[in-house]
């Protein structure tokens, strides 16, 4: 075993760690030395969003010690910036150990003289974002690993605007966390009188906000019998989504019973990710059996949303994140205009890897559409920069995230479920399904088809392999893809765009990020980026063509699917 790893193990065996932790380390030394290396070969990185990792003992794992040390560093930075009279809000999801991690976080903050508003039990992540703003907190934490497998947990850190931190606060917080060299540097207890439990009153304030987002409450009430099937996938959505839908006027809501109870083991699914058809399969089966109008599912911390609908053949399908976002963006722009509440300074925000069809729709409707890096902290940062000048309506990204209205600053599946169901009611009132609406939009604006390939590279060598893949894509861009000339290379790490024909370059006015995009002459696009939260590299593919009439949807989709398959094969990603 590497000498550095041996020293780290020795520190835990001889330091102020509990006996159960030391016993677990001794057991790994004897039975699973490879697991011990994985647990100690590095420190779990406090990135720009916080912590996320597998739970267990060790410096590279989510446990009470890594959580406590992270909180001490964050507390130190909050005190540097704000001085005294600081408050934070803390929430958690249904994952194993989430409550324990949230309480440890609360105690460390309180021991540092910081007032804490701790949710009395599990709550959706977006409510934590809302609470920070509502209570005037300087920061906040939610203990969640979002849609990751059950072995994972995480720690997301927020700033005073209710958004995850951006520069300079993210990097400065990381520096303070890195200064915490030992568990002995952590103030673990004392100050419990500074902890206040919150719950029902905050729920009401948040649900009032969600209800206020409705554009056509009268349509929802007319369509109150619309059949809605909802699954919280063993997560926090069960706490608020049913109440929110009831407030919107929907009376025919059916909860998927097998997945209704919060459970960190997620017993009915392999991954608690609503992006996966397998995860949504129980809900899809129930929706089909009931002949429902819409299926909605939220991930464990209720910030991601998936919907299922019947397609033009009467088959139940799961909308992908780009389709869901495009429908939601279009509804918010179209309905506001029809209602007479649209403003000349309305704006929408999407990420650079989300469908360009949204840009096309927004341009046609005269609404400003901005593109930012992946992550809702960048959407929130732009909202802040445009405050008082432009009116934010909706933001979103292809990975099943939407943020509607500006009273929260993170993706919110609770409000998204309500607005998407309102959208279904709006179309039902006009005598058509959501899928028929989707096809109508393709006919009007062009048929955009997207696909995502995620490649996982775990362990000690994973990061190096991903870095090598990005370096090769950066230094050796293809001249053609699928017989089509690659026109531009956009390198967000270098913040430079390049015309591959002329060699002309220009500055990309977006914060630095390790993302590459190939733009092709026919409007196709390939993007590559390492995930910020998982050991993955993600490749995004976007192609488009005209759809002359609804009847040609299937044939045109086959053409676009075949093109994506050829591109994936040519780039060696199949």
Whether residue 213 contacts residue 415, with contact meaning beta carbons closer than 8 Å, is answered with: yes
In a domain, 411, yes or no: yes
Q: Same structural domain for residues 394 and 456?
A: no
Residue 133 lies in domain: 42-198
In a domain, 242, yes or no: yes
Q: Same structural domain for residues 97 and 76?
A: yes
C-alpha to C-alpha distance for 499 and 503, rounded to whole angstroms: 5
- Nearest to residue 486, comparing CAs of 518, 526, 517, 527? 518
C-alpha to C-alpha distance for 248 and 210, rounded to whole angstroms: 9
Q: Which residues contact 10 (CB under 8 A, 6 or more apart)?
A: none
Q: Same structural domain for residues 455 and 440?
A: no
How far from the centroid of its chain's Cα atoms is residue 216's Cα? Answer: 27
Interaxial angle between packed helices 357-365 and 321-339, expressed in degrees from 0 to 180 and rounded to the nearest 10: 10
Q: Same structural domain for residues 138 and 187?
A: yes
Structure-token match 């369509």, residue found = 223
C-alpha to C-alpha distance for 395 and 340, rounded to whole angstroms: 21
In a domain, 372, yes or no: yes
Tokens of 177: 């966390």
For the CA atoms of 419, 423, 424, 430, the dihedral, rounded to the nearest 10 degrees, stands at 160
Residue 280 pairs in a beta bridge with none
DSSP SS3 for 132: helix
C-alpha to C-alpha distance for 254 and 316, rounded to whole angstroms: 17
State the pTM of this model: 0.95
Sheet of strand 401-404, all strands in order from the earlier edge strand to the far edge? 368-372, 346-351, 391-397, 401-404
Tokens of 566: 């050829």
Q: Same structural domain for residues 307 and 324?
A: yes
Q: Does residue 281 have an active-site annotation?
A: no
Tokens of 44: 């779990």
pLDDT at 574: 85
Q: Same structural domain for residues 122 and 178?
A: yes
Tokens of 274: 């609503």
Structure-token match 């906000």, residue found = 209
Tokens of 459: 């362990």
Whether residue 88 contacts residue 140, with contact meaning beta carbons closer than 8 Å, is answered with: yes
CA 140-145-149 angle, to 5 degrees, is 170
Structure-token match 């086959």, residue found = 558
77 — phi, psi (to 5°)?
Answer: -70, -40
Q: Same structural domain for residues 423 and 464?
A: no
C-alpha to C-alpha distance for 283 and 296, rounded to whole angstroms: 8
Give the burial class of 192: count Cβ atoms within 10 A of its Cβ; 0-12 exposed, 13-18 middle, 19 or more buried: exposed
DSSP SS3 for 399: coil
Strands (E), 63-126: 87-92, 115-119
Catalytic residue among 146, 381, 415, 524: 146
Tokens of 205: 């304030």
pLDDT at 460: 65
In a domain, 220, yes or no: no
**Got the DSSP string for 110-151?**
HHTT-EEEEESS---HHHHHHHHHHHT-SEEEEE--TTS-TT
Domain boundary among 445, 478, 497: 445
pLDDT tens digits for the chain (574 residues)?
A: 789 999 999 999 999 999 999 999 999 999 999 999 999 999 998 987 899 999 999 999 999 999 999 999 999 999 999 999 999 999 999 999 999 999 999 999 999 999 999 999 999 999 999 999 999 999 999 999 999 999 999 999 999 999 999 999 999 999 999 999 999 999 999 999 999 999 999 999 999 999 999 999 999 999 999 999 999 999 999 999 999 999 999 999 999 999 999 999 999 999 999 999 999 999 999 999 999 999 999 999 999 999 999 999 999 999 999 999 999 999 999 999 999 999 999 999 999 999 999 999 999 999 999 999 999 999 999 999 999 999 999 999 999 999 999 999 999 999 999 999 999 999 999 999 999 999 999 999 999 999 999 999 876 678 888 989 999 999 999 999 999 999 999 999 999 999 999 999 999 999 999 999 999 999 999 999 998 667 789 999 999 999 999 999 999 999 999 999 999 999 999 8
Residue 470: CATH number of its domain: 3.30.310
Domain boundary among 411, 445, 479: 445
Cα maximum dimension of the chain: 72
The helices-and-strands tally (H runs, E runs) of the chain is: 18, 23
C-alpha to C-alpha distance for 277 and 285, rounded to whole angstroms: 11
DSSP SS3 for 62: strand
C-alpha to C-alpha distance for 241 and 127, rounded to whole angstroms: 12
In a domain, 430, yes or no: yes
pLDDT at 464: 86
Q: Same structural domain for residues 440 and 498?
A: no
Q: Same structural domain for residues 281 and 188?
A: no
Domain boundary among 425, 445, 465: 445
Q: Same structural domain for residues 245 and 371?
A: yes
In a domain, 558, yes or no: yes
C-alpha to C-alpha distance for 434 and 416, rounded to whole angstroms: 15
pLDDT at 535: 79
In a domain, 529, yes or no: yes
Q: Same structural domain for residues 531 and 498?
A: yes
Residue 253: CATH number of its domain: 3.40.120.10
Helix, strand, coil shares of the chain as percentages rounded to 5? 40, 20, 35
Q: What is the DSSP secondary structure assignment for residue 430, as one 8-state letter?
A: T
In a domain, 219, yes or no: no
Q: How many domains does the chain have?
A: 4
Q: Same structural domain for residues 321 and 368?
A: yes
């Amino acid at each position: 075993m590497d000498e550095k790893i041996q020293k780290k193990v020795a520190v835990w065996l001889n330091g102020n760690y509990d006996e159960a932790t030391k016993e677990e380390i001794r057991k790994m030394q004897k039975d699973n030395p490879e697991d011990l290396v994985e647990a100690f070969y590095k420190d779990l990185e406090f990135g720009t969003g916080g912590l996320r990792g597998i739970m267990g003992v060790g410096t590279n794992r989510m446990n009470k010690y890594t959580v406590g040390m992270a909180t001490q560093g964050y507390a130190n930075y909050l005190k540097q910036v704000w001085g005294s009279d600081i408050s934070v809000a803390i929430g958690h999801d249904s994952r194993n150990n989430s409550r324990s991690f949230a309480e440890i976080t609360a105690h460390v903050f309180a021991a540092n003289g910081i007032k804490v508003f701790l949710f009395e039990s599990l709550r959706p992540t977006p409510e934590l974002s809302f609470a920070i703003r509502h209570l005037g907190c300087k920061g906040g934490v939610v203990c969640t690993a979002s849609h990751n497998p059950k072995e994972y947990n995480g720690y997301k850190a927020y700033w005073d605007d209710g958004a995850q931190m951006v520069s300079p606060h993210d990097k400065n917080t990381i520096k303070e966390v890195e200064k915490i060299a030992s568990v002995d540097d952590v103030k673990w207890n004392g100050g419990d009188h500074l902890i206040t439990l919150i719950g029902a009153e905050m729920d009401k304030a948040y649900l009032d906000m969600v209800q206020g987002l409705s554009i056509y409450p009268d349509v929802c009430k007319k369509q109150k019998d619309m059949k809605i099937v909802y699954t919280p996938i063993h997560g926090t959505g069960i706490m608020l989504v049913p109440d929110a839908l009831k407030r919107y006027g929907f009376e025919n809501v059916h909860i998927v019973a097998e997945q209704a109870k919060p459970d960190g083991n997620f017993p009915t699914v392999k991954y608690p990710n609503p992006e996966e058809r397998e995860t949504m399969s129980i809900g899809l089966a129930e929706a089909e059996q009931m002949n429902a109008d819409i299926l909605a599912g939220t991930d464990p911390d209720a910030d991601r949303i998936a919907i299922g609908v019947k397609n033009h053949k009467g088959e139940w399908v799961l909308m992908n994140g780009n389709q869901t976002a495009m429908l939601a963006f279009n509804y918010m722009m179209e309905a506001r205009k029809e209602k007479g509440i649209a403003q000349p300074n309305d704006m929408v925000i999407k990420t650079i890897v989300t469908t360009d069809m949204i840009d096309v729709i927004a341009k046609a409707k005269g609404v400003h559409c901005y593109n930012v890096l992946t992550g809702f902290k960048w959407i929130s940062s732009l909202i802040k920069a445009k405050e008082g000048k432009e009116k934010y309506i909706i933001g979103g990204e292809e990975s099943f995230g939407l943020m509607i209205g500006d009273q929260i600053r993170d993706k919110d599946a609770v409000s998204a479920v309500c607005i998407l169901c309102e959208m279904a009611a709006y179309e039902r009132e006009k005598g058509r399904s959501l899928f028929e609406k989707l096809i109508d939009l393709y006919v009007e604006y062009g048929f955009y088809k997207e696909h995502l390939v995620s490649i996982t590279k775990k362990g000690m060598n994973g990061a190096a392999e991903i870095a090598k893949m990005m370096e090769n894509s950066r230094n050796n861009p293809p001249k053609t893809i699928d017989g089509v000339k690659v026109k531009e290379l956009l390198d967000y790490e270098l913040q430079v765009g390049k015309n591959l024909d002329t060699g002309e370059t220009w500055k990309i006015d977006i914060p630095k990020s390790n993302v590459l995009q190939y733009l092709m002459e026919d409007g196709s696009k390939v993007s590559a980026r390492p995930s910020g939260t998982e050991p993955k590299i993600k490749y995004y593919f976007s192609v488009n063509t005209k759809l002359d009439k609804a009847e040609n949807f299937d044939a045109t989709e086959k053409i676009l699917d075949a093109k994506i398959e050829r591109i994936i094969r040519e780039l060696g990603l199949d």
